[in-house]
């Protein structure tokens, strides 16, 4: 028994030592919160304080010192997140996490973003390069000041590579991938696959927006698309097939995988409040740990007025030195994804005598070949040949197997810069919107409010293509003269709305304009508009606004979009219960009716809200998803027969046709 006691005591001691070692390692990778540290690279002392929520307040003597301090914080607290951003864009995740990331790396490496980032870096104005260099020094100083490398690298048994100036541009490229369909442009491929399987009139009907839900800022709602008759397509002539999903479990899985999240941004003029305009912004990107944003407050002397301190408050993107969303005290700005059309598939017509050549509007050109070496942790390197054209890299095939090159604004040197920092200097809505066409980010809806009570909207993005001579919704041949992207929009062409008559602006990824502006921006898969319409109507329901009123609108969870589907579901349930409301179900009723009647009290009392405690909301939503899925199933089956890769261009497609 004494030996057993000694063994148990020894094991407990070993466990305690192991726990202590793990704790010391984790504690060593925590950011420093107190004390003083001497670092090279600052022109004057910088202080960093934190509020009760841990949000840092940085006070510096210049904007460059501020960038250094912000980089220090990002490097201490978010370096692994930053590392994933740069590796994601560059196609270098496998080097860190191994073979499971190879598929992502192979796709992203075809864009050759690392080589492009070096070109973009060389084109930055001198002042922006100084700012970026200061930020980079700060990141590496923060990382090196940690006693132990970040804990994620301990788990991966890896050493973090120092941050480089070009990596900040790769972080912006990663946002292009996040906001532009991961650079795959599946939407246009699936439209082409559907049109190859059914008549164009039917395809257009299935893809048509539902004008009942549209809420543009300018222009009218779309005209209702006509339903094709049986002369165009007759469903009754299709052979009976099992085209629907195998069960509700498939709907639940799809619902979890694609929740249809979207961003909201809206503003009200100062005359509807207390003089200063108000702005609310919900940038709903995918949930992740840590959150994609890093909140900060930053103070430094105003370069235009040495007696004034400029204060920036909002969120930053770890990996970049600019305030992304927030306020400088004179203006506030926010972003939502524009959902414009920023990429096109181009049919690559090869020379039948020489497959290495392809047709362009000015003659034959030679396909460039780049060998990309992907390092894989714990496995041999993977060699990838990228075939490049003047249109972009070859990345897919059309329905007739013609190679397709991806023309994407993210491939352009002009697509990425640091002009976002110009918003920090803006004094008014007009100032901010003047910078919008020059900001090198994925094109976004920019909503601005200022302290003088003005509000405005425009598209922020420096690479909006001007198209000519082709249908941008499907792959097209650009080898014809005067076809393709024939230039880029000038600042004068950038659509703007300043101080609308009703003093209200709203964006929620919906179509915002019509006519020429819509032709310029294109359609990259706009939200159907139900969220935007609900925000618009909430704004219209008030004559006076204070900040809590905008918060109430942000938190409005009324399920208006599903209200009509709740009524349909009750009608379906009524077919099983014509007049009887008691449960259990009368003898002889089918098992399916038994289940339906079990749902009735929840559906009747669903609260008409997307609330966590509303079982009925979940039931109605699943009913909507399943009804839509079954109604579209015959057309999906035809498209899949033609192209096995077919999927609907978006989770919201077909709402108008199904209803």
Query: What whole-number distance in Å separates Cα of residue 314 and Cα of residue 249?
Result: 41
What own/partner pairs with CB < 8 Å and gap ≥ 24 does 39-47 have?
39/72, 39/141, 39/145, 40/141, 41/68, 41/134, 41/137, 41/138, 41/141, 42/68, 42/69
Which residues 6+ apart lie within 8 Å of 380 measured at CB?
none
Report the predicted TM-score, pTM, of the whole model to 2 decimal places.
0.93
SS3 494: coil
The residue length of the chain stands at: 659
The helix-helix angle for 615-642 and 248-257 (nearest 10°) equals 90
Query: What whole-number distance in Å separates Cα of residue 163 and Cα of residue 321?
Result: 13
What own/partner pairs with CB < 8 Å and gap ≥ 24 does 234-243 have?
235/634, 238/634, 238/638, 241/634, 241/637, 243/633, 243/634, 243/636, 243/637
Looking up tokens 């946002």 gives 175
SS3 367: coil
DSSP structure class, residue 222: P
Give the CA angle between residues 631, 632, 636 to the nearest 5°: 145
SS3 31: coil
Query: What whole-number distance in Å separates Cα of residue 595 and Cα of residue 588?
Result: 14
Give me the phi and psi of 657, to 5 degrees please.
-65, -40
SS3 179: helix
- Report mean pLDDT in 10-residue bins for the chain, 659 residues: 84 80 76 92 95 96 97 98 98 97 97 98 97 98 95 94 98 96 95 96 95 94 92 87 50 52 93 97 87 96 88 98 97 97 98 96 96 97 98 97 98 97 96 97 98 98 96 96 95 96 97 94 94 97 97 96 96 79 52 87 96 94 92 93 92 89
Looking up tokens 């496995």 gives 379
For the residues of 260-323, what is the DSSP string, one character each? ----EEEEE-GGGTTSS-EEEEE--PPP-SS-S-EEEEEEEEETTEEEEEEEEEEEE-TT-SSE
Give me the phi and psi of 322, to 5 degrees please.
-100, 155
Output the CA torsion sign for 68, 74, 75, 80.
negative
Helices (H), 384-522: 422-425, 429-435, 515-521
Residue 62 and residue 301 in contact, taking contact as beta carbons nearer than 8 Å: yes
Which pLDDT score is estimated for 240? 66
Query: What whole-number distance in Å separates Cα of residue 654 and Cα of residue 541?
Result: 30
């Amino acid at each position: 028994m004494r030996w057993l006691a000694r063994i148990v005591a020894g094991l407990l001691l070993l466990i305690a030592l192991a726990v202590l070692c793990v704790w010391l390692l984790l504690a060593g990778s925590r950011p420093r919160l107190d004390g003083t540290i001497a670092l090279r690279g600052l022109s004057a002392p910088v202080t960093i304080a934190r509020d009760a929520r841990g949000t840092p307040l940085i006070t510096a003597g210049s904007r460059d010192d501020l960038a250094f301090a912000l980089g220090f914080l990002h490097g201490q607290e978010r370096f692994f997140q930053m590392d994933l951003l740069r590796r994601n864009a560059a196609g270098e995740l496998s080097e860190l996490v191994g073979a499971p990331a190879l598929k992502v790396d192979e796709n992203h490496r075809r864009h050759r973003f690392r080589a492009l980032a070096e070109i973009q870096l060389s084109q930055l104005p001198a002042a922006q390069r100084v700012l970026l260099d200061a930020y980079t020094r700060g990141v590496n100083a923060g990382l090196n000041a940690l006693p132990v490398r970040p804990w994620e690298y301990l788990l991966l048994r890896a050493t973090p590579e120092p941050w480089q100036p070009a990596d900040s541009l790769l972080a912006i490229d990663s946002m292009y991938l996040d906001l532009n369909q991961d650079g795959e442009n599946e939407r246009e491929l699936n439209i082409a696959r559907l049109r190859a399987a059914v008549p164009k009139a039917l395809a257009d009907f299935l893809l048509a927006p539902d004008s009942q839900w549209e809420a543009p800022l300018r222009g009218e709602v779309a005209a209702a698309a006509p339903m094709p008759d049986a002369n165009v397509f007759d469903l009754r002539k299709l052979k009976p097939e099992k085209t629907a999903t195998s069960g509700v479990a498939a709907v639940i899985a799809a619902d979890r995988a694609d929740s249809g999240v979207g961003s909201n941004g809206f503003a009200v003029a100062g005359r509807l409040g207390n003089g200063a305009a108000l702005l609310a912004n919900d940038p709903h990107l995918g949930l992740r740990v840590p959150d994609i944003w890093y909140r900060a407050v930053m103070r430094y002397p105003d370069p235009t007025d040495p007696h004034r301190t400029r204060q920036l408050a909002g969120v930053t993107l770890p990996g970049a030195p600019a305030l992304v969303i927030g306020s400088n005290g004179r203006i506030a700005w926010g972003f939502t994804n524009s959902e414009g059309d920023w990429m096109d598939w181009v049919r690559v017509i090869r020379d039948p005598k020489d497959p290495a050549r392809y047709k362009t509007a000015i003659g034959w050109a030679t396909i460039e070949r780049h060998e990309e070496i992907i390092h894989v942790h714990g496995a041999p390197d993977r060699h990838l040949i990228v075939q490049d054209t003047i249109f972009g890299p070859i990345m897919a095939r059309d329905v007739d197997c013609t190679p397709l090159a991806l023309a994407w604004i993210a491939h352009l040197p002009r697509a990425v810069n640091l002009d976002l920092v110009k918003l920090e200097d803006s004094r008014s809505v007009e100032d901010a919107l003047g910078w919008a066409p020059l900001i090198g980010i994925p094109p976004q809806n920019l909503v601005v409010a200022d302290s003088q009570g003005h509000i405005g909207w425009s598209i922020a993005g420096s690479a909006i293509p001007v198209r000519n001579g082709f249908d941008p919704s499907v792959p097209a041949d650009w080898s014809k003269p005067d076809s393709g992207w024939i230039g880029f929009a000038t600042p004068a062409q950038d659509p703007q709305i300043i101080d609308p008559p009703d003093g209200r602006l709203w964006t929620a990824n919906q179509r915002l304009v019509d006519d020429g502006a819509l032709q310029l921006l294109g359609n990259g898969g706009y939200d159907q508009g139900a969220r935007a319409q609900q925000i618009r109507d909430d704004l219209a329901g008030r004559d006076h606004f204070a900040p809590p009123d905008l918060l109430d609108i942000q938190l409005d969870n009324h399920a208006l979009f599903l209200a009509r589907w709740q009524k349909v579901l009750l009608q379906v349930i009524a077919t099983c219960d014509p007049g009887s409301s008691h449960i259990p179900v009368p003898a002889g009723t089918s098992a399916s009716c038994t289940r339906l009647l079990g749902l009735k009290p929840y559906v009747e009392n669903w609260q008409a809200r997307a609330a966590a405690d509303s079982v009925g909301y979940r039931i109605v939503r699943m009913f909507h998803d399943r009804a839509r899925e079954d109604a579209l199933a015959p057309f999906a089956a035809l498209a899949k027969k033609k192209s096995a890769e077919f999927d609907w261009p978006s989770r919201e497609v077909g709402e108008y046709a199904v209803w």
